[in-house]
Chain A
Amino acid sequence: MPKRTDLRKIMIIGSGPIVIGQACEFDYSGTQACKALRADGYEIVLVNSNPATIMTDPEIADRTYVEPLTAEYLEAIIEREHPDAILPTVGGQTALNLSVELAEKGILERNNVQLIGASLNAIKMAEDRFWFKDTMGKIGLDVPLSVLVTKVDAALKACEKIGFPLIIRPSFTLGGSGSGTAYNREEFEEMVRWGIELSPVHEVLVEQSVLGWKEFELEVMRDHADNAVVVCSIENVDPMGVHTGDSITVAPAQTLTDKEYQRMRDAAFAVIRAVGVETGGSNIQFAVEPRTGRMVVIEMNPRVSRSSALASKATGFPIAKIAARLAVGYRLDEIPNDITKKTPSCFEPTIDYVVAKIPKWAQEKFPEADHTLGTQMKSVGEVMAIGRTFKEALMKGMRSLETGRKTPKPPQDPSELLRRLAVPHPERLWDLFFAFAAGHSVESLEEITHIDPWFLNQIQQIVELQGELKRFDEKSIPPPALREAKRFGFSDAHLGEIWNVSAESVRMRRAETGVRPVFKRVDTCAAEFESFTPYLYSSYEDEDEAAPTDRKKVLILGSGPNRIGQGIEFDYCCCHAAFALKEEGFESVMVNCNPETVSTDYDTSDRLYFEPLTFEDVMAIVEEEKPYGVIVQFGGQTPLNLARQLKNAGVPIIGTSPASIHLAEDRKQFGKLLERMDIPQPENGAAKNVEEALAIANRIGFPVLVRPSFVLGGRAMVVAYDEATLKNYVARAEELQQAFPILVDRFLENATEVDVDALSDGRDVLVAGIMQHIEEAGIHSGDSSCVLPPALIPESNRQTLREYTVKLARELKVVGLMNAQYAIQAGKVFVLEVNPRASRTIPYVSKATGVPLAKLAARLMVGRKLKEFGLPEELPVRSHYVKSPVFPFRKFPGVDTILGPEMKSTGEVMGIGETFGLAYAKAQIAAGLRVPTEGQVFISVNDHDKPGVIPIARDLAKMDFKLVATSGTAAILGKAGLRVEKVFKVNEGRPNVVDLIRNGSLAMLINTPLGKASRYDEKSIRHAAVQHGVSCITTLSAAAAIVSGIEAQRNQEIRVISLQELHQTAASA
């Protein structure tokens, strides 16, 4: 049966900002769904609050709404657009939960909207953990024993009979939020209470533990004619107890016999049928007892998931695209397989390689947090690697992670190693290598880690070979042994370390001996049929299948795994480069190793290399493809770090030259340049020790901003207000390698931070956007809300900003994009830094202006001139756009939520409104914060902020908010004639402010940092606020912004507008 003709307009809900547990994979799936359904002739209305996505590009859907993902806003969009149906299954848990809410509130029925892909009943049965288990029992599948609880005391009683340890799993959450393992009563009570609170339906399932069992996932597709296939099986290296998102996983399953695998496949089909997911993809998780083979069902996700993105990339089977088409009535056998062209999609991909996924965590960003891995996901990104063997895939994956360091060193104390192995943590994979090197056996490590001996044995083989390699050096190694090492996945750099020589010498030896990789294709069928999509990976085999064309081509280096500071924005830019190059008649060749992304979709570029982004791996591709040019400025810091080395190896880097890139990155050299150009910068110096640091600080005056010279993304940056802090910092830095010289800058207090994005062809410069930050300088640009147009920056300053930006772009001979960060203090503009590359704000500015900056930049890089595009010197912005960050604090209980120069946010949202206030309010709502319109506001500010807070408090009082404040602030407000109630600080007695938060009697908090003395107090206030989802504002500028947001909210009903409409008015104006 072909597609449905009773549907015309379909709404797709995206997953919102990038958070832990929900990342770019939903940009990938949503984008595929939009493209597929549009190609089938449907009109697509897309809603997503995340501007950094490809899916919110105005070309992807017919109508694109960058609006908060709440039922109220969706209702407004539905009423405006009248879609016939909603596809709820490609936007992660967010879209699924929202769809349930829309259905249950009657909004869908009232507006005559159907759910396609998954029915309300199916979603609820799968997501309601208890109902799901009950269903499993009915179809004869085994599940761990469990009890559903909604109250803590009832829970304890009920659970005593199951026995500890117990697993706590809240219903309708994602990424294991609120779940955990309780080993005793005390932990149990706390976790259950927390879980009940986090669950949108306030229930948790308390379950018998199956810790240490083998964990598997199957990705299943089903069409409405009940044809069902398994796209991919995935085995977790880390056994049950570590969230699949935090586990190293492998596709396909390695340790199941066919009988065991088929039993699981049968069960998966039984599950999808019982739950009633009629069309689309589902992910079903199983646990298998390693000694007896007993199999239990863990959960099902009735939607496209992170694992489906992985499965799609691992097999070449585009799950989201096909799920979308199945939802509109196609059958699996009616959809052709894009790769083979001749065969249908109704089949089960088979692969002749191994895929390994390794998560990437952000432990260095949250040093105080507990990094033990458990049932709640903590990783912020992942890499995937393809090899012909598990060993090769694993080793490629490990180098794809860009840990920014050489192979780590084992702990000194051998018993420490074993202790570390017993508890899953981000470094456990490396610890396993150390353990084998120290002579531990597979058996003993299995006992400690419960990792399947098959995986342990593979790692042991690598370690053994490493031992054997030590007997040689790069000169004496016989070619077959060198080839064997490469076949095991050893990188040149790793071999260089083993032999104490540079990676370059190993590379030379390989060149001499002809040991080089070939490229194989991912083709869904293990070479049974010819493949027409050049989706490639490298391996040390005999026959090369890359078959490069002789077209003029450009290689785009991607941004690797998501991490805090380098995320989806860069993937967005890389995809745009690919699109633009295609339009320019070039062949686009993408290199990346992140399976979550749109860039690693085989139809984003003409050719895709799924490879690590290291010098060695990129060179192999360059040698194979012989590109006309290589683009390094779109993938964030990852490719930039390779730029010089590539250039030196004769690789044609196009766009801004690596020398300019380096000049801008090297703060010392760049400082000199600014001096020469007469552009102000904060006074600064470089210190090699404590004395020098103190001398510099005293010269330029405290506070100072200190940072090690090598870091990126604001890492390890600290504001030192006094000598003690500075001394302490330098002392700690001494423990780090490469930390010196330490850079000491005058910290610009009370300065407004500004981001400027520009485009240049080397001569002309276009100022694309001047963005004013709401939080002042000192809070990392990525963690600050920012505003377009920059209404509060006086024209005189804007003129200066333009002038500096143009000068800098010319000086650096930028071809492509440039981002400059400034701070304006007391009317004077200082340059903080210049990044001659695509920045985090490019998608945001592109969406606000309607001009695709990354595309234009790519065109400039292949020789076009700015003049040809007919753009004004500065892009106009109609309406107001606010970008706000989203933080992962809920995942890291105990971490202070105070912001600083080190970036901590994982994602962002955009609010659009006719006024700044409205746009800001929308951005806050989109970021998941409440913008209260009534209630009680708590205020506690430092002395410096006391005068400034008065007008804010007055505005709030005018809007009938009740004010409560700590004594000092209360006194000031009282004196200003405001009615205010005094409340205790945490250490003053009870009930105190934290009690108020816990009781839900505060609508909002305004709390600026008071300094050391009250640190504990503030931390517990902010912590309580985060845990209870109350907005806690930590700067006065943000407080002022939220006040205008509240005003706007109170005075206006919900209004939504699509990007297409905005851009049209911008174009016609």
Chain B
Amino acid sequence: MEAVLALEDGRVFRGRGHGASNKRFGEVVFNTSLSGYQEILTDPSYAGQIVILTYPHIGNYGTNSLDSEAIQPYAEGLVVREICEAASNWRSEEEISNFLCHHNVPIISDIDTRALVMHLRKHGAMRGVLSTIGGGDTELVAEAKSSPSMVGLDLASRVTTQTRYEWTKPSGSIDGARAQESPKARFKVVAYDFGIKQNILRRLVDSGCAVTIVPASTSAREVLELKPDGVFLSNGPGDPEPVEYAARAVRGLLGRVPVFGICLGHQIIGLALGGNTYKLKFGHHGGNHPVLNLETNKVEITAQNHGFAVDPDSLNINEVVLTHRNLNDDTLEGLRHKSLPLFSVQYHPEASPGPHDSAYLFGNFVRMMEEFKKPGKA
């Protein structure tokens, strides 16, 4: 099967096709993680994006039911140097190409992915079309050009849950030998789903939370009616600006309940606090970004996946403390409110994939809820 990846600026790559016979468009981004392709592909934040994985061998350990971040893949397409059709791992249940095929995701392999990444590094993330059903260069490039742009697109509403549901599963054990026990739920958390990764939910449960997931459009009043101990704002795809309804909700929650946000949730908090967001040239997508915690002066190696960021200069420093900074490019990675119980990070403390250095933030959230519960606070 032949496959084509056409970019809006006219560059075309031809390689081998795998996965679904299909044609899909999206913003083409690259992720530099060495492992964790299943988590990446099933992360709803990748909705609307075609993902290049820079590590050349993908599929080595197959896929399994524990490692998905959602019930289906969200990436529009996968671009790799070589796809492995003979997975080897004790947990593997299905080859990656079959897994993606079931969910209509096409794969292109055997192209010079490094050349492609350098192209995007120079020219920025751009729209593209990935086809495993043929198509001429000019026609595909034209399609890429006419596909919708990320900027201004409300993708969260596309991937959010339609209905409210509960989550109680903790992180599973990977060697089966030691089954993880569910800790007792001491806090009731309402989680906004803008495209939430399941590992966030598992981490919340691990930290002693009972979680209710609500649709992105849920209002502050509806949330408060649930009498939560804390509210969580999830990650999600695309541009935060069109999700202004969520920023409005955050303003309604501010001070009334502890709030913790990750990624898109962090950007929405930034907007709610009066700040601006902007699009990064090619975003941060990987598992090796150093972030300095400005309050402890310690570095965390973080998992990241975002194309937009909060402009720190747009925030009111009388109200907001900048807590985390990216050491590669000095972008803002975390903030908290000076007096009210609210904090957020741009990166992914739930990892999956990625390092666990920032898992402490779930503990911070729990402590914040504990504090807030103390008599005299609420």
Contact = CB atoms under 8 A, between A and B. Distances in A.
Interface stretch (A253-261, A411-419, A680-688, A851-859): A253-261
Q: How many residues of A sit at the interface, in one of the four size bands?
A: 35 or more
Nearest to A251: B34
A217 interface: no
B44 interface: no
Interchain residue pairs A-B with the least CB separation, the first 3: A258-B36, A543-B115, A258-B353
Contact of B328 (A332, A343, A390): A343
Interface of A: 225-227, 229, 233, 252-263, 265-266, 290-295, 331-333, 342-344, 346-354, 388-390, 442, 452-454, 457, 520, 525-530, 541-543, 545
Nearest to A340: B328
Interface in B24-62: 30, 32-36, 38-39, 54-57, 60-61
A245 to B, nearest CB: 24
Nearest to A257: B61
A652 B91 CA distance: 56
Contacts of A389: 56-57, 81-82
Contacts of B376: none
Contact of A260 (B38, B115, B174, B327): B174
Contacts of A353: 56
B286 to A, nearest CB: 6
A259 B174 contact: yes
Given A342-B329, A541-B112, 19 more contacts: A226-B298, A253-B35, A256-B89, A257-B64, A258-B38, A259-B66, A260-B174, A262-B351, A263-B174, A265-B355, A331-B299, A350-B55, A354-B57, A452-B88, A526-B32, A527-B118, A528-B286, A543-B118, A545-B118
B319 to A, nearest CB: 28
DSSP majority for the B interface?
Answer: loop
B215 interface: no
- Interface centre among A266, A332, A348, by most chain B C-beta atoms within 10 angstroms, is A348
Contacts of A260: 89, 174
Interface in B119-177: 121, 174-177
B132 to A, nearest CB: 19
A528 B86 contact: no
Contacts of A291: 90
A542 B113 CA distance: 10
B101 interface: no
A256 B56 contact: no
6 contacts: A262-B351, A352-B55, A354-B56, A388-B114, A454-B84, A529-B328
B327 A295 contact: no
B335 interface: no
A263 B66 CA distance: 15
A926 B246 CA distance: 73
Contacts of B336: none
B356 A262 contact: yes
Contact of A527 (B90, B121, B174): B121
Given A349-B288, A351-B55, A227 B91 contact: no
Contacts of B35: 252-253, 256-258, 261
A257 B299 CA distance: 25
A254 B57 contact: yes
Contact of A346 (B39, B121, B327, B353): B327
Nearest to A387: B56
A453 B32 CA distance: 25
Interface string B344-356: 0000000111111
Contact of B55 (A259, A343, A526, A529): A526
A231 to B, nearest CB: 11
Contacts of A542: 111-112, 115
- Interface centre among A252, A257, A351, by most chain B C-beta atoms within 10 angstroms, is A257
A266 B354 CA distance: 11
B117 A527 contact: yes
B352 A541 contact: no
Nearest to A344: B327
Interface string B325-365: 00111000000000000000000000111111000000000
B52 to A, nearest CB: 10
Interface in B283-342: 286-290, 292, 297-299, 301, 327-329
A826 B56 CA distance: 66
- Interface centre among B56, B82, B301, B354, by most chain A C-beta atoms within 10 angstroms, is B56
Contacts of B290: 333, 343-344, 346-347
Given A225-B298, A254-B57, A257-B36, A266 B328 contact: no
A226 B360 CA distance: 15
B67 interface: yes
A256 B174 contact: no
Contacts of B57: 254, 354, 389-390
B81 A350 contact: no
B316 to A, nearest CB: 28
Contacts of B287: 258, 348, 350
Contacts of B61: 255-257
Contact of A352 (B54, B84, B89, B111): B54
Contacts of A263: 174
Contacts of B115: 541-543
A526 B54 contact: yes
A342 B328 contact: yes
Nearest to B92: A257
A347 B289 contact: yes
Contacts of A227: 298-299
A335 B236 CA distance: 34
A259 B60 contact: no
A251 to B, nearest CB: 10
A350 B298 contact: no
Contacts of A293: 90-91, 174-176
A255 B91 CA distance: 11
B239 to A, nearest CB: 22
Given A259-B67, A259-B352, A263-B174, A457 B86 contact: yes
A356 to B, nearest CB: 12
B114 A290 contact: no
Contacts of A252: 34-35, 55
A614 B211 CA distance: 62
A527 B114 contact: yes
A555 B177 CA distance: 56
A225 B115 CA distance: 38
A350 B84 CA distance: 20
A537 to B, nearest CB: 11
B32 A528 contact: yes
Contacts of B289: 347
B61 to A, nearest CB: 5
A229 B117 contact: no
A294 B88 CA distance: 16
A949 B177 CA distance: 70
Contact of A257 (B81, B86, B91): B91
A528 B121 contact: yes
Contacts of A520: 114
A292 B36 contact: no
Contact of B67 (A254, A257, A294): A257
